[in-house]
Structure 1
């Protein structure tokens, strides 16, 4: 097929099924719905790690977190190993970014010839305090992440609008380029703070919002690994009341629609500039959000609300109005970009496959998506494998979890201890251990993090170092 341009739009913290095109009964995402209708949507897409910096490092390189050692939000991608942006740039393609990247710094040799409105880990160090894991602090006290919830206009809202407007200008400038280009557009919504312009909040009346499922107050018992996370930083207690929980959800939903509006500006520009027949468009997010389920907020867990992501692709040769059940991952984006632009396929390294190719194939229910977590609030590592039908969680030093996604899409019933599922659990464990040594990787992550902690003066100083909440964005 003739090479195409690639427009990659990445949001932040968008739960995989909170879109009209995914069948949600009231979430308004008209622009993402249109994009899905003109291409293929993947109903089983996952992040390689449910936290920003590691997920984005994997996206940048097509490698798993344990392969590149970007364990947490203080150990960011610095251009090594080379990823798709460097491959494209070295091969003479135009490859630029607008918006959030969350790499080490603007000077890191990641491959983009120009970065506009770039956001990287704060001051080049990120959340150093989150690297203190051996031993992990008992608790760090009340979370500041949800102090402000509701109507308003945050720096993030203004930033996303500016990113979308700049992308519109960029497309006009490059509409006549002869050689395929690649543009990465990184928006922040629906990432906290849960502050959203009034017009979007009004779309989701607070009194009509159902409370999150599986709250411990209803009798649900959290896995010990999750319980330890909650004790370390109890976001639900910081939110406090059912009224604020509903307001938090309404604000999050409003941010999704606000983000969809920004995507709509960009998609309209693609159409206006006559680029539809020459451009592959990919939409996804770096990870999801727990949004109150199990009494948990933010991300960092192995459940699908945290590890699942929306993913869709549209463009020449992509089947329209198709939903693929094949498990896919952000890991696959590198192969997709290099394949679609016609960049030398021999450059591709790593475990991924082009989702453009997968979209044209029959579903592969036994293909596995993999995710891992070694970051803030985790005493030991957690790993996930997901096929179309089952989802398996391996926790170092703790019991595993297994969920039947067909019968139990909310992952409410752990089947791992039931005798009739012993063979499935054993098969997943074998697949995991063929991919890595879970305990050895856990030890390596902690060793690397301890080196970082030592470099910042030791445990006590490290716990006071780094941004306490969301990464700030440039105001102009």
Structure 2
């Protein structure tokens, strides 16, 4: 087969646990469900940081966040770090981004040849935490987005995601009528269903209030929380809010409606592929950057290693290449780089990656036993915190906290901490040794604080004089649009025609 096109669709904060093909009983998401039924579904896919910026930087680089300075939501992503977009360009691909990727710093492309929209979030260092002063909390959100939700006609996120879709659809039509076709990788990255949990009425009204479920695990006693959960609980000021069942149902209602909103946008993209014939040689990959706790355990948003926060959807759709399948092997977003390079022909040797190509799994083959690693190094904690996940167990690890160990096979709700259970002491010892070999937490903390100090100084300096213009400015060359001097209308129209596929 020829090198396939790659349509890489990303949602933001969409938990695998909230989707029907992972077992959710309420959400429908028909387009995603169809994609899953015809594609390869990874049952146990994880982000490598439960926060937007670090998750995306590690995904694009194929390296753990700590290796690329992806500590928080204002990281300097070095222009010298190769990304999957660079590797695909070397393999002959045209690369394009429509939507969010949370780049901070002057490089706003990182291997993409084109970018169709600006980002939704700032490109400067203004969101840098301050670990040097633990009492100097950085709060990007509190419980307001849980307490105040409902249908709306427009929102900032709707404005953004509608633009992302329009630009991506237009770009795909342009590729279908290219006179000199070239394999492409188009990333379409939406910001929904990220909070606030609001949606247009046509999506809100897909669900009635009485069918919205409550969390499987009710709020835990704050006094009984593990150390990491207690910090996140305080960070979001959860204890300061009075959250009723009605609040939780409303927030979930908005979250489910926002999933349906993204589902409709996926359907629009798939329709373009199908009606233009591009679907015959396009691999569609759908993922999210992290999940959302949605009230499970009395916790909200993200920034923790429990399943609702850290487990993400991952679907690979290419019916003419890969038979529908469900893969149990744990995988992570780190695997995207090697997988894309492999799909693109693998003509360029990968310099460094912590991931593995998933193409063998897509073909129904097996990979050796794996351990998936995750990190959280941002606001809400003041010490590096880590996660390891193998085929059965998940370890929460920090040098300052007692470990947490869960058997996800026997305890999918993560209610029974086995760290003191002598019967699994060998498993705990094995995973603890792996964590200690992967991370030097003390040295990493020193590096993080030094990096934060530099970024905060630079951000402060930019308040004086003229600040640098890092935010991406989409450019349209109007001289090449529609009918221009030296061209006949009939000639231009003829070249622009894209006829239906018979």
TM-score, L = length of structure 1: 0.90
**Post-superposition shift, 1:200?**
1.6
Question: 1:315 is matched with which residue?
Answer: 318
- Given the superposition, is the C-alpha separation of residues 457 and 160 from structure 1 closer, same or farther in structure 2, using an over 3 Å criterion? closer
The Cα of 1:451 is off from its aligned counterpart by: 3.0
Q: Tell me how far apart the structure 2 counterparts of residues 298 and 340 of structure 1 sit (CA, whole Å).
A: 34
The equivalent residue for 1:244 is 247
Question: What does residue 110 of structure 1 align with?
Answer: 110
**Are 1:74 and 1:127, in contact at CA under 8 Å, matched by a contact in 2?**
yes
Counterpart for residue 5 of structure 1: 5
> In 1, Cα distance between the equivalents of 2:472 and 2:406?
37
- Farther off after superposition, 142-151 or 44-53: 142-151
| 1:25 aligned partner | 25
1:6 touches 1:183 (CA, 8 Å); kept in 2? Answer: yes
CA distance in 1, matches of 2:4, 2:326: 22
Segment drifting more, 14-23 vs 292-301:
14-23
Bigger drift between 76-85 and 422-431 goes to: 76-85
Q: Distance in 2 between matches of 1:387 and 1:473?
A: 42
Structure 2: segments with no counterpart, 5+ residues: 464-470, 477-502
Task: Report the equivalent of 1:391.
Answer: 394
Residue 201 (structure 1) aligned to one of 189, 199, 204: 204
- What is the CA distance between 1:78 and its match in structure 2? 4.1
Aligned partner of 1:338 in structure 2 is: 341
SS, match of residue 189 in structure 2: strand
- Structure 1 pair 257/379, CA: closer, same or farther in 2 (3 Å)? same
Please tell me whether the aligned partners of residues 419 and 428 of structure 2 are also in contact (alpha carbons under 8 angstroms): yes
Calculate the TM-score normalised by the size of structure 2.
0.85
- Mapped contact 2:59–2:334 kept (Cα < 8 A): yes
What is the deviation of 1:18? Answer: 1.9
Deviation at 1:320? 2.7
1:370-381 counterparts in 2 under 5 A?
A: 370-381=373-384
1:98 maps to 2:101: no
Give the distance between the partners of 1:385 and 1:276, measured in 2 at CA. 37
Per-residue deviation, 1:76: 4.0
Contact persistence 1:20–1:29 (CA under 8 A): yes
Bigger mean CA deviation after superposition, 333-342 or 145-154: 145-154
Contact 2:42 2:327 in 1 (8 A): yes
1:421 Cα deviation (Å)?
1.4
Taking the TM superposition and a 5 Å limit, the aligned residue runs for 1:159-308 are 159-175=160-176, 176=178, 178-216=181-219, 221-235=224-238, 237-238=240-241, 240-308=243-311
Give 1:44-83 correspondences, 5 Å limit. Answer: 44-83=44-83
Partner of 1:468: none
Q: Write the deviation string for residues 340-359 of structure 1: whole angstroms up to 9, x where unpaired.
A: 12252313521212222222
CA RMSD of aligned residues (A): 2.7
Q: 1:365 to 1:255 in 2, by over 3 A?
A: farther
- Please list the CA deviations of residues 136-192 of structure 1 after superposition, one character each: whole Å capped at 9, or x if unmatched: 227568826516411103121232122222222211111255331111110011001
Q: Distance in 2 between matches of 1:83 and 1:343?
A: 14
Q: Determine if the alignment matches structure 1 residue 16 to structure 2 residue 16.
A: yes
Does 2:448 correspond to 1:445?
Answer: yes
**1:69 CA drift (Å):** 1.1
Q: Distance in 1 between matches of 2:46 and 2:206?
A: 28
Structure 1 pair 109–448 and aligned structure 2 pair: CA distance change class (3 A): same
Shift in Å at residue 89 of structure 1?
A: 3.2
In the alignment, which residue of structure 2 is the partner of 1:324? 327
Cα distance in 1 between the residues matched to 2:87 and 2:437: 29
Q: In the alignment, what sits opposite 1:136? A: 134
- Matches of 2:52 and 2:144, distance apart in 1: 15
Q: For residue 483 of structure 2, what is the aligned residue in structure 1?
A: none
Residue of structure 1 equivalent to 2:480: none
Contact kept, 8 Å, 1:138 with 1:231, in 2: the verdict is no
Instruction: State the distance in 1 between where 2:472 and 2:308 align.
Output: 25
Residue 435 of structure 2 corresponds to 432
Contact 1:279-1:316 at 8 Å conserved across structures: no
C-alpha separation in 2, matches of 1:96 and 1:45? 25
Describe the superposition over 1:409-441 as per-residue Cα deviations: whole angstroms up to 9, x where unpaired: 111111111111111011011122232323322
CA contact (8 A) 2:92 2:182 kept: no
Distance 1:318 1:392, change over 3 A: farther
Question: Take 2:456 and 2:104, find their aligned partners in 1: how far apart are those partners?
Answer: 17
Q: Which moved more, 1:361-370 or 1:379-388?
A: 361-370
Cα distance in 2 for residues equivalent to 1:64 and 1:139: 25
Decide which moves more: 228-237 or 268-277.
Answer: 228-237
Q: CA deviation at 1:109?
A: 4.9
- What residue ranges of structure 1 are gaps of 5+ in the alignment? 462-470
Over 3 Å counting, the alpha-carbon distance change for 1:66 and 1:105 in structure 2 is closer
Runs of 4+ in 1 over 6 A off after TM superposition: 471-474
Residues 238, 199 of structure 1: alpha-carbon distance in 2 compared, 3 angstrom cutoff: farther
Could you say what secondary structure the match of 1:101 adopts?
coil
